[in-house]
Amino acid sequence: MGPANVKRSLTKALGAEDVSMNYYELEPGESFAFGYHRHEGQEEVFYVLEGEATFETEDGEETASAGEAVRFAPGEWQQGWNRGEERVKALAIGAPQESGETDILRECPECGERTEQDIKRAEDADALVTLCVDCGAETGRFT
Mean pLDDT over 66-78 rounds to 98
Cα within 13 Å of Cα(109), Cβ side? 5
pLDDT in tens, 82-131: 999 999 999 999 999 988 899 999 999 999 999 999 999 998 889 999 99
Phi and psi of 35, rounded to 5°? 180, 180
Peptide bond into 96 cis (omega under 30): yes
List the strands of the sheet with 36-39, edge to edge: 60-65, 52-57, 78-81, 36-39, 102-108, 113-121, 128-132, 138-142
pTM over 0.85: yes
What is the structure's pLDDT at 16?
Answer: 96
Q: CA of 48: how far to CAs of 24, 29, 58, 77, 104, in Å?
A: 9, 16, 21, 19, 23
- Confidence band, pLDDT 50/70/90 cuts, at residue 4: very high
What pLDDT digit, counting tens, does each position of 10-68 carry? Answer: 999 999 999 999 999 999 999 999 999 999 999 999 999 999 999 999 999 999 999 99
Q: Are 5 and 53 in contact (CB under 8 A)?
A: no
Which pLDDT score is estimated for 124?
Answer: 86
